[in-house]
Chains A and B, each alone.
Chain A
Amino acid sequence: MANAESVVFRKSYHIEGGNFQSAGSVSKKIKQILKQLNIDGEIIWRAMIVAYEAEMNVVLYASEAEVILEISPKKICMIFKDKGPGIPDIPLAMTEGYSTATREMRERGFGAGLGLPNIKKTADNFDIQSTVGSGTQLIIDINIF
């Protein structure tokens, strides 16, 4: 999370779990903000990988989530705080290829077990906290400089 004084832009969004029709819409709103702020295309490209993966995780597994976007001169910070089943074994969930996706999700091309590893690889800083039966929080930073 950025220092409160240095945040130049802050906005929150809501994601509805299970809604495939609107999946990606929060990522798209974030992209529009980043474009308006004239942030470099390569940084937006990386921000979209993590935003979409995190958004899809909510759509696929959680009931809902709040997303907080904070932009400071040095970084883009995205916090995804969901209400959902939580992750019992985070190191296992971070393993490439591991997934608890249903058959229906897999048929849609999800559940390859790449989402969280992709976020970790792409982000400059990544933190994941989860409470089983309550939900999961991701804090993802993409450095601007």
Chain B
Amino acid sequence: MRLKEIIDALNLEILNQGDHLDDVVQGGYSGDLLSDVIASTRKNDLWITIQTHENIIAVASLKDLSGIILAKNSVPLNETLKNAKNESVTLLRSPMTSFELVAALSNLGISGKR
């Protein structure tokens, strides 16, 4: 499923479009510990987190993730938005909790299997 289709299906807010909207999302990961996320994510994963600082952009960029969804309408720092723009990382947001987002993505067929 393409990222733009997931955005429509889950009504995600686009904070930064980036250049991944046509990516085929291969899977997903949910986590707020950056060491865990850097070690466990795969290329084109969609990452759900409540972390809002700028280092999440570096993680998404280095691991070639499709994008980041900020759960619970978390508000990113200005530096995070700036870095997302500079690095063309797709940054999304939803009022849903991480758990609800995982369930919704699972219903769309996005697997978390490692």
Contacts and interface: CB of A to CB of B under 8 A. Distances in A.
Contacts, number: 71
A56 B34 CA distance: 10
Interface string B56-73: 111101111000000000
A93 to B, nearest CB: 14
Interface of A, helix, strand, loop or mixed by DSSP: helix
A110 B64 CA distance: 20
Given A114-B33, A118-B35, A52 B43 contact: no
Contact of A24 (B49, B55, B79): B55
Given A20-B53, A21-B79, A49-B39, A110 B34 contact: yes
B63 A45 contact: yes
A137 interface: no
Contacts of A115: 35
B51 A109 contact: yes
Interface of A: 20-21, 23-25, 27-28, 31, 41, 45, 48-49, 51-53, 56, 108-110, 112, 114-115, 118, 121-122
B59 to A, nearest CB: 7
B62 A28 contact: yes
B33 A118 contact: no
23 contacts: A20-B53, A20-B54, A20-B55, A23-B58, A24-B55, A24-B61, A25-B58, A28-B62, A45-B42, A45-B64, A52-B38, A52-B58, A52-B59, A52-B62, A53-B38, A56-B35, A108-B53, A109-B56, A110-B34, A112-B36, A114-B36, A115-B35, A118-B35
B32 interface: yes
B23 to A, nearest CB: 15
A51 B61 CA distance: 13
Interface of B: 32-39, 42-43, 49, 51, 53-59, 61-64, 79
A122 B39 contact: yes
A110 B62 contact: no
A114 B39 contact: yes
Contacts of A27: 58, 62
Which residue of A52, A56, A122 has the most chain B CB atoms within 10 A of its CB atom?
A: A52
Contact of B35 (A21, A25, A41, A110): A110
The interface centre, meaning the residue of A20, A23, A24, A53 with most chain B CB atoms within 10 A of its CB, is A24
Given A109-B34, A114-B35, A118-B39, A23 B55 contact: yes
Contacts of B34: 56, 108-110, 112
